Amino acid sequence: MMKQEQSRPVKAPEVIDLDRIRLRRPKLSDAAAMFECGSDPDVARYADWPIRTSIDSTIERIHRLDEQWRSGDEFYWVITLPDVDRAIGGVSCCVSQRSAEFGFLVNRRCWGKGYATEAATAIVNWALLIPSVCRVWATCDTENMASARVLEKAGLSPEGTLRRSIVRPNLSDEPRDALIYARVR
């Protein structure tokens, strides 16, 4: 994700309540659920980070996410079901001067229920409310058709293929092609 280049710091909502899910800042008590998601080979397959192998690295990540939130470098929300308040995934967003890049993941047990689309749509809509942002974008591996559908359902349009652009360490050490999607105003 790109580092923020804002002249004025972006303020992100700590909680976003949606129809069926809630997005909120992660807490240390989310470590086990976040590790479960990030250590699942099917969930991490197309990720641009290595599969999680230790809950300790997840706890460190939660601390880094808190620092990044405070600095405005990256905003990360866990996706929860409001009645349970257990993390079932996550969505992140990095705001630069005129654009915002985001990404998401959802626990495999919750695939196919529209939670990723609901979360992605909320982040796209939030980012486009930031006065300086005129472009919200995301990438996915060319083989990851489920994520491509989520991006389209969230209102993004396909722009093309980034050839050999992103290493997906759980698939290969070589850079892979990625689809790029964006919504502009």
Domains, the chain = 15-134 (3.40.630.30)
Residue indicated by tokens 């559908």: 149
Q: Can you read off the two tokens belonging to residue 62?
A: 């939660």
Residue ranges of alpha helices (H) inside 41-178 are 41-44, 55-71, 115-127, 145-153
| Across 153-172, average pLDDT | 98
Closest to 61 (Cα-Cα) out of 23, 90, 22: 90
Look up the pTM and report it: 0.93
Predicted confidence at residue 5, as pLDDT, reads 45
Pairwise CA distance, residues 95 & 102, whole Å: 9
pLDDT over 70 (residue 6): no
For residue 104, what is the enclosing H or E element? strand 99-106
82 falls in which pLDDT band (50, 70, 90)?
confident
Instruction: Give the Cα-Cα-Cα angle 152, 12, 1 (nearest 5 degrees).
Output: 55
| Across 18-42, average pLDDT | 97
| Across 34-49, average pLDDT | 97
Predicted confidence at residue 64, as pLDDT, reads 96
| Across 174-180, average pLDDT | 98
| Helices 145-153 + 115-127 axis angle, to 10 | 50
pLDDT over 90 (residue 38): yes
In sign, the C-alpha dihedral spanning 120, 95, 101, 2 is negative
Pairwise CA distance, residues 34 & 57, whole Å: 11
| Helices 55-71 + 31-38 axis angle, to 10 | 110
pLDDT over 50 (residue 9): yes
